[in-house]
């Protein structure tokens, strides 16, 4: 990556990060809504079980303390509901804290209702699963360790619930009857099963969720690229049709201009004007033929030459077109690598320079950097600049900041650079102007019809 002007380079990254944050915000909102629904369902089931134990089973429990825990968890649910209704921005840390509250709250309830022998102990895996599916591996690991620690403590520290402990008729004790009684094989097996389940869920669900998110990002990028390519194809189709339609009138104009020159040979000034018009018509016909040839990728010519030679040639040819705009070129120290370029790359870079020059008629500053695999051209203009929101859309949509512009040049130039394996980034500068970063590989990627 380029090292020039590091204070301004992160700006478009911040614009992209804002779009990512917006997507993360929506995902967190939805996940918190789902967590609120899960909590409501589990809270209702636990409450029904507690009422059943009180009225039907006549179990002796500290109901006042247990109901106070329920009331506290209900207040947490109410606070979460209020926060979601007021659309305050959630964060991943907040989601983790809510899952942690679920683990600790359930562990506290289990402490007063039989500890690890309570059937609801398996619910400790639910927050772990949710964390693995929605949060990063650090949060998942932290919650898994916390749930495992709570389960382990509940094996030794709890208020016994006799109805869950022994089977008096058979004399078989599946669980310990008191916290001080040694653990039997069944209890150890339950603990080990919880450990394995938590580890498998944390690993595999986290991997699957990560793969799904990565696949979704690729699909979104594919849809955006497909839409842009369809727009470019439409422009290319219209250009080919326009070139075909212009061929006939340009040929007619060339014939008429020759006849007029032949008829007015005695008028020297008129002949000079007619010759100039003939040259312009010939130039238009040549451009149309070149457009038709370049429309087929199989006809693209590539050459391998020094990066310094390529850019100096580009600078000299562009200065002939825009002699009124000064252009300073700065080089990285060391020997420039050899690159492979085709006939479309130079035109794409000329378009980028023209865009910068239109915004900055007082001059441009170019910087060239490279490494073993890529080379980078930085174009710094000193014009009014563009907003960060517009910088994020330029090159992917037909948007222009020029009064007479159509927004096509930058889209086609970026499409050409992307086709060659490169990237284009626009960095609005705090002091005014824009930094355009063009990064390309030293070796062109394989293309149909290209060896």
- Shared-domain flag, residues 352 and 238: no
Strand 434-441's sheet: what is its strand order?
327-331, 364-370, 374-381, 434-441, 423-428
- Shared-domain flag, residues 286 and 317: no
Residue ranges for the chain with pLDDT beneath 70: 1-27, 87-89, 162-187, 189, 204, 208, 225, 227-244, 290-301, 343, 387-409, 444-451
Q: What is the pLDDT of residue 278?
A: 85
Among 125, 157, 183, residue at a domain's last position = 183
Query: Closest by alpha carbon to 202, among 314, 99, 73?
Result: 99
Q: Is residue 13 part of a domain?
A: no
Q: What is the pLDDT of residue 29?
A: 75
Q: What is the pLDDT of residue 170?
A: 43
In angstroms, how far is CA 233 from the centroid of its own chain?
Answer: 25
- Shared-domain flag, residues 356 and 420: yes
Overall domain count for the chain: 3
Partners of residue 342 on adjacent β-strands = 302
Locate 78 and state its tokens. Answer: 């109410």
CATH number at residue 429: 3.30.565.10
Q: What is the pLDDT of residue 149?
A: 92
What whole-number distance in Å separates Cα of residue 25 and Cα of residue 33? 12
- Shared-domain flag, residues 141 and 43: yes
Q: Is residue 257 part of a domain?
A: yes
This prediction has a pTM of: 0.47
Q: How many CB atoms lie within 10 A of CB 286?
A: 10
Q: Is residue 224 part of a domain?
A: no
Q: Is residue 80 part of a domain?
A: yes
- Shared-domain flag, residues 411 and 390: yes
- Shared-domain flag, residues 45 and 178: yes
List the domain range (segments joined by +) for residue 163. Answer: 25-183
Q: Is residue 109 part of a domain?
A: yes
> E strand or H helix at 257, and its extent?
helix 206-263
- Shared-domain flag, residues 285 and 310: no
- Shared-domain flag, residues 246 and 368: no
> E strand or H helix at 196, and its extent?
helix 185-200
Quick check: helix, strand or coil at residue 335?
A: coil
How many residues make up the chain in this entry? 451
pLDDT tens by residue, 47-62: 888 888 888 878 788 8
- Shared-domain flag, residues 68 and 91: yes
- Shared-domain flag, residues 339 and 286: no
CB 303 within 8 A of CB 339: no
- Shared-domain flag, residues 255 and 385: no
- Shared-domain flag, residues 34 and 92: yes
């Amino acid at each position: 990556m380029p090292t020039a002007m590091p204070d301004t380079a992160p700006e478009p990254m911040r614009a992209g990060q804002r779009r990512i944050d917006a997507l993360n915000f929506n995902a967190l909102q939805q996940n918190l809504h789902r967590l609120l629904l899960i909590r409501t369902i589990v809270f209702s089931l636990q409450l029904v079980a507690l009422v059943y134990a009180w009225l039907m089973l006549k179990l002796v429990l500290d109901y006042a303390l247990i109901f106070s825990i329920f009331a506290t968890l209900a207040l947490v649910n109410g606070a979460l509901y209020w926060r979601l209704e007021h659309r305050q921005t959630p964060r991943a840390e907040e989601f983790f804290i809510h899952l942690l509250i679920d683990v600790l709250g359930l562990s506290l309830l289990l402490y007063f209702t039989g500890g690890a022998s309570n059937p609801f102990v398996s619910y400790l895996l639910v927050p772990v699963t949710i964390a693995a599916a929605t949060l990063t591996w650090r949060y998942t690991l932290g919650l898994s360790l916390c749930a495992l620690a709570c389960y382990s403590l509940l094996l030794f520290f709890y208020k016994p619930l006799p109805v869950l402990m022994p089977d008096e008729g058979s004399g078989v004790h599946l669980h310990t009857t008191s916290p001080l009684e040694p653990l039997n094989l069944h209890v150890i097996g339950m603990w080990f099963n919880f450990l394995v389940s938590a580890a498998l869920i944390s690993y595999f669900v986290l991997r699957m969720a990560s793969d799904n998110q990565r696949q979704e990002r690729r699909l979104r990028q594919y849809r955006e690229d497909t839409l842009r390519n369809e727009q470019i194809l439409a422009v290319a189709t219209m250009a080919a049709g326009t070139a075909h339609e212009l061929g006939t009138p340009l040929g007619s104009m060339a014939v008429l201009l020759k006849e007029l020159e032949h008829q007015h040979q005695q008028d020297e000034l008129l002949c000079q004007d007619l010759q100039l018009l003939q040259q312009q018509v010939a130039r238009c016909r040549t451009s149309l033929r070149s457009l038709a040839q370049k429309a087929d990728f199989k006809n693209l010519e590539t050459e391998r030459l020094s990066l310094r030679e390529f850019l100096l040639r580009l600078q000299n040819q562009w200065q002939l077109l825009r002699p009124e705009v000064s252009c300073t070129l700065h080089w990285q120290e060391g020997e420039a690598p050899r690159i492979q370029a085709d006939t479309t790359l130079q035109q794409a870079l000329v378009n980028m320079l023209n865009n910068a020059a239109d915004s900055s008629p007082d001059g441009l500053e170019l910087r060239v950097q490279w490494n073993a695999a890529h080379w980078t051209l930085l174009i710094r203009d000193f014009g009014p600049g563009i907003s960060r929101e517009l910088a994020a859309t330029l090159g992917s949509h037909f948007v222009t900041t020029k009064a007479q512009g159509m927004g096509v040049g930058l889209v086609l130039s970026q499409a050409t650079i992307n086709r060659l394996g490169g990237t284009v980034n626009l960095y609005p500068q705090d002091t005014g102007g824009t930094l355009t970063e063009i990064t390309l590989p030293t070796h062109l990627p394989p293309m149909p019809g290209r060896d």
